[in-house]
Amino acid sequence: MSKKQPPLLNVDRVSKLFTSGRTQALNDISFKAHQGEFLSIYGPSGSGKTTLLYIIAGLIRPSKGEVFIRGKSLSAIPNLPCMRRKTIGFIFQDFYLYPSFTVLENVLLPNVNQFTLAKKWVIKAETLLHQLGIHRKARQNINELSCGERQRVCIARALLNDPALILADEPTGSLDSENSINVLEILQKINEQRNTTILMVTHDTSVSKYAHRNIEIIDGKIRNP
Ligand SMILES: Nc1ncnc2c1ncn2[C@@H]1O[C@H](COP(=O)(O)OP(=O)(O)OP(=O)(O)O)[C@@H](O)[C@H]1O
Ligand SMILES: [Mg+2]
């Protein structure tokens, strides 16, 4: 009989105290996400949503508690950037795109530290831009793009390494309703067709309806855990 697989993501009693300002951003957060789940983290501004995603991605460390990816604690993973690149795609709240680089260069950025940029990555990035409907802008600079187009560049970048987990921080936060629906349908398709686990942060109930399951955070705590 096969051994039971650990969940893709296990957030175990995570707290975060920012000593500067003495803000208790997260307080004893626990939940699990399995492969193929689409989860939304819903909560008001300042409730700790971005902090939680940064901790899950290993970009900041929790003050207490642990995050496990496929049963392995982040604190026991020797090369976190490598794990992050292979397993996690991050769609940042503020985009973090390089304005003077082209669309294609921005999508390829997660892989530039491997020195030689194999042709296969360029082809992959171009294919993703095609799927997201912005291939015609591939050679244009980011600062020539609309907000909705920039958001799709972020999604393409997050998908480059076929991550098992996508962390999407307010992916529709700066979009109009038509572009929001478009982005949410793209995420839904990624989830259904690739079985990618998606953790999407939002403060909008109409956005959280796209998820299979909602986790509500208020003042750094899960409501009705
Ligand atoms: N680097 C930091 N240093 C000190 N305090 C911080 C830091 N980052 C976040 N905080 C504080 O932690 C709390 C949670 O912030 P966070 O950015 O996680 O909220 P959020 O739910 O993502 O809000 P929003 O919906 O506005 O993006 C806030 O009170 C914020 O001021
Ligand atoms: Mg935030």
- State mean pLDDT over 132-147: 94
Q: 17-30 burial string, b = 16+ CB within 10 Å, else e?
A: eeeeeeeebbbebe
Q: Which of 23, 29, 52, 216 is the best mutation target for the ligand 1 pocket, counting ligand atoms within 8 Å of the beta carbon and taking the most?
A: 23
- State mean pLDDT over 207-224: 93
Domain positions in the chain are 9-218
Q: Which residue has the CA at smallest separation from atom 5 of ligand 1? A: 18
Model confidence at 1, pLDDT cuts 50, 70, 90, reads very low
- Give pTM, 2 decimals: 0.93
Residues with C-beta less than 6 Å from any ligand 1 atom: 18, 20-21, 23, 25, 43, 45-51, 93, 203
Fold for domain 9-218?
A: Rossmann fold (3.40.50)
- State mean pLDDT over 178-191: 91
Query: Could you identify the atom of ligand 1 that is nearest to the CA of residue 60?
Result: 1
Residue 122 to residues 90, 105, 117, 131, 190, Cα–Cα distance (Å): 19, 9, 8, 14, 20
Q: Is the pLDDT of residue 114 over 70?
A: no
